Structure 1
Amino acid sequence: MFRKTTLALLAGASSLIAVPHHAMAIDAAAPAGPAVIYANQGAPQPPMRAAYVQPQRSNMGGGFIEFLFGDAPSSQGYSPQPYQQQPGYYGNRQLPPMDPQQQMLRQQEEAAGDPAQRPFDPRYEKQLVDYSGRESAGTIVVDTPNKFLYLVQGDGRALRYGIGVGRPGFTWAGVKTISAKKEWPAWTPPPEMLARRPDLPRHMEGGPENPLGARAMYLGSSLYRIHGSNEPWTIGTNVSSGCIRMRNEDVIDLYGRVNVGARVVVM
């Protein structure tokens, strides 16, 4: 009697349930062919496109019936997806964004390590200044300790330019005259320099990469020159082997203002 009752209950339950209660991902058009209507199902509905629907547990009374018709795993059922961590977490080795002050400090440190990135000091811009010296107009005065070159204008005024000067042991003082002027000069390192720097080229034609820059004014019969530079960040420093170094734009300006025979006083 008990066995017959159990089978009857199972048969009645199976007639009430049209489809298994599994999660469905409706993402394709309905298959072609005649529609099949189950006992408890209305008219066929048009095909739907939807995202995955989270399965919900039905209330089947628990126990043996729940085990048979509940949401037990199957090959077509829902399988949980692995959790994907969002970017920006420490677990992904991505640190939080750096605040603006830290970013600025880092950029300054990087620029300090690369001389070519150093900004030009505005103190060394060309400017008209007062001059109280005794040199006459047209004279060039080189102030080696303070790294300025003055072109005396007369009437107590002078044009002042920033310069780079000799390294320790290569500075000098004296009076010279401009013996020659050249635009985009070629460069032939003297033997004394090649002895110190055998890696230097024996000769280099004039051009933007030439260490003498855009212009050169030769000082008497010496090896010294007032010349341009393709390294403007060196202005205001002790950098040369005795030559007076200027920015290219400044040496071009000075070149056009002085003549061969001009007096040069180096202090």
Structure 2
Amino acid sequence: MSKLTRRGAMKTGLIAAGTFALPGLVRAQSLGDQPAEPSRRNASSFSAQDWRDHFDALGVVTILADTDSRALHYWSADGSDYRIYPTSVPRTDELTRRGYTKVVRKKVGPDWTPTQSMVERFGWTYMPPGPDNPLGTHAMYLTWPAYLIHGTHDTRKIGRKSSDGCIGLYNEKIEELFALTPIGSQVKIA
């Protein structure tokens, strides 16, 4: 009968660990040549954008809301300040309005009046500012009626298709964006 030594146990453990890890390593190496499939549910699956792909020039502030990656991109006037925020986006393509717009009004502590279709579908009614308000703590209104960039108290919505047309951010992120964004800033919803 052979005696098991510490050195022998370590060798055996390393060999066993290598045996179990080998299929994963081989699979990882074989996938190295192929492009990675993007994550469909991960709020952090978005990547950096170049403003030139969407705008002719930077405005005072330039905002791109990318509904596919569920991210909002912010550029300052000279492009030196670039930020990405995770967002909630409209639940369906029918609820999504795409194109160019501007920020026309801003409000801290927004109240909320549902659209007629929301009243018909859900029976929702007017909601004053507060913790139950779906617009969160800050809202930026666009040239399109009923389409906003706003906060949300329901953090489960961020990174998901969960809105009826608006772009939602965590309350602390909309507060930051709100402070950086003057009225008249150019916006693209893509």
One fold, TM greater than 0.5?
Answer: yes
**Is 1:243 aligned to 2:166, yes or no?**
yes
Higher helix share: 2
Shift in Å at residue 124 of structure 1? 7.8
Q: Which residue of 2 aligns with 1:224?
A: 147
Deviations 1:73-101 (A, max 9, x none): xxxxxxxxxxxxxxxxxxxxxxxxxxxxx
Structure 1 segments, 4+ long, off by >6 Å, are none
Which of 115, 118, 122 is residue 197 of structure 1 equivalent to?
A: 122
Amino acid across the alignment from 2:101: K
| RMSD (Å) for aligned C-alpha atoms | 2.1
Map 1:126-205 onto structure 2 (within 5 A): 131-134=49-52, 135=55, 136=58, 138-153=61-76, 154-155=78-79, 158-168=82-92, 169-198=94-123, 200=124, 202-205=125-128
Length, aligned pairs only:
142
Kept in 2, the 8 Å contact 1:148–1:162? The answer is yes
Tell me: CA distance 1:220–1:196, structure 2 relative to 1, closer, same or farther (3 Å): same
Task: Name which structure has the greater RCO, CA cutoff 8 Å, separation 6+.
Answer: 2
Number of the residue aligned with 1:83: none
Structure 1, unpaired ranges of 5+: 1-120
What is the distance in 2 between the residues matched to 1:124 and 1:183? Answer: 30
- Greater Cα radius of gyration, structure 1 or 2: 1
Higher strand residue share: 2
Q: Does 1:258 align with 2:181?
A: yes
SS at match of 2:51: coil
- Equivalent in 115, 118, 134 of residue 211 of structure 1: 134
User: How much does 1:203 deviate?
Assistant: 1.1
Q: Tell me, what secondary structure is at the counterpart of 1:233?
A: helix
What are the ranges of 5 or more consecutive residues in structure 2 without an aligned counterpart? 1-41
Q: Normalization by structure 1: what TM-score?
A: 0.50
CA distance in 2, matches of 1:204, 1:215: 14
- When normalised by structure 2's length, the TM-score is 0.69
Percent of aligned positions with the same letter in both sequences?
32
